[in-house]
Amino acid sequence: MRTAPLCASAPLRETKTLSKPFTILEKPWYVISTLMSTHLNKQSKIISKILSPALRLWLRTQVETIEGLELKITGGDPAGTPDLRYRADRQILGGYIPQVALSCNTAVYEGIHVGAVQLEAENIRINIGQVMRGKPLGLLEPVTVRGKLEVDEAALNASLQSPLLSGGLTDLLAMLLAAGGTNSENLLSAYHISWCSITLKEDKFTLTGTLRGKGGETTPVTIRSGLSLVRVGGHHLRFHPIHIDGILELGTFPDSLEIDLGEQVEIEDLSIAPGYLSCAAIVVIISD
């Protein structure tokens, strides 16, 4: 009987928390009047004193760790006339933010490790009234986000124990089985799958894992495939050519497979190089 390789991930860094980020919000309407009376000489203090801390706190509640966070909220032209800056503040007080840009060096989201991230969003409507009473920030309408993401091979391997990523890879195997005419749901229910390593090469990847049966028997599996966009600006990924070793007895597999990521995703660029992956995309975030 062959034994399964150990599938370990890098330990997650300790999550940083803010001890008391909303001290200034304890008397929101006093804060508003103070900020509005002094906004003529500086760009909106509503941004610096209320929205930026609220958004930073919200971001930190969405991720396990984040490093090198840079955040810019645009609420009008800081060099504009006092009247224009006053209108910008009025927009923000109404819950409308013209533009937000953020970047970070590294982050961990639900166990998935990523490198450099750059995001931009426009025409954002938030629950500003609740934020000013110390409540969590929330979206009132869907927001279109344009972003760039970089991930290296080490980060991907550290993410393999994440239920989000490991579940997605298991779904990929199920789709390959289904495309070959195999009842993947019944077949995979008889195995526990552990994904152990991923290697990136020019426009392709190699994924290794282990299937453990209910009787304890183990079967290694290796998936090799090229990965590309069906078309630039679309939401389909193409896996081709596909080579699978170790579980041929489970069924037949196609040479090519296309996956629809959904109409809320538009991929502008996907690049895979040795040890490195980058992606640029537009994603629509739906409000809760």
- pLDDT 10s digit of each residue in the chain, 288 long? 444 444 543 333 333 333 334 333 344 433 433 443 444 344 456 666 777 887 788 788 788 999 999 998 876 544 455 555 566 667 777 888 888 999 999 999 999 999 999 999 999 998 888 877 878 778 899 999 999 999 999 999 999 999 999 999 999 988 888 887 777 777 778 888 999 999 999 999 999 999 888 888 888 999 999 999 998 888 999 999 999 887 755 567 788 999 999 999 999 999 999 999 999 999 998 876
Cis peptide before 82 (omega within 30 of 0): no
Q: Is residue 149 part of a domain?
A: no
Same domain? 101 vs 193: no
CA 167 to CA 72: how far, in whole Å? 34
Clarify whether residues 275 and 162 are in a common domain.
yes
Mark whether 162 and 270 lie in a shared domain: yes
The answer to whether position 16 is within a domain reads no
- Domain end marker among 83, 117, 141: 141
Domain assignment present for 1: no
Query: Do 163 and 83 fall into the same domain?
Result: no
Q: Residue 3 falls within a domain, yes or no?
A: no
pLDDT at 58: 75
Q: Are residues 159 and 280 in the same domain?
A: yes
Give the residue among 208, 203, 255 at the shortest CA–CA distance from 229.
Answer: 203
Reported pTM: 0.74
Task: Please tell me whether residues 29 and 133 are part of one structural domain.
Answer: yes
Note whether 189 and 270 are same-domain residues. Answer: yes
**159 and 119 together in one domain:** no
CA distances from 214 to 173, 185, 217, 219, 259 (A): 19, 15, 7, 12, 30
- Asked whether residue 276 is assigned to any structural domain, the reply reads yes
Instruction: Provide the pLDDT for residue 74.
Output: 78
Query: Does residue 11 form part of some domain?
Result: no
Same domain assignment for residues 101 and 219:
no
Beta bridge partners of 100: 73, 121
pLDDT at 3: 43
Domain boundary among 78, 113, 141: 141
Tokens encoding 247: 């579980």
CB distance 191 to 204 below 8 Å: no
SS3 content of the chain, % helix, strand, coil (to 5): 30, 40, 35
Residue 219 shares a structural domain with residue 103: no
Residue 13 lies in a domain: no
Residue 191 belongs to what domain range? 155-285
Regarding whether 200 and 128 lie in a shared domain, the answer is no
| Last residue of one domain, picked from the residues 141, 165, 200 | 141
In a domain, residue 150? The reply is no
Tally of domains in the chain: 2
Q: For residue 158, what are the contacts with CB-CB under 8 A and spacing of at least 6? A: 9, 10, 113
The verdict on 176 and 203 lying in the same domain is yes
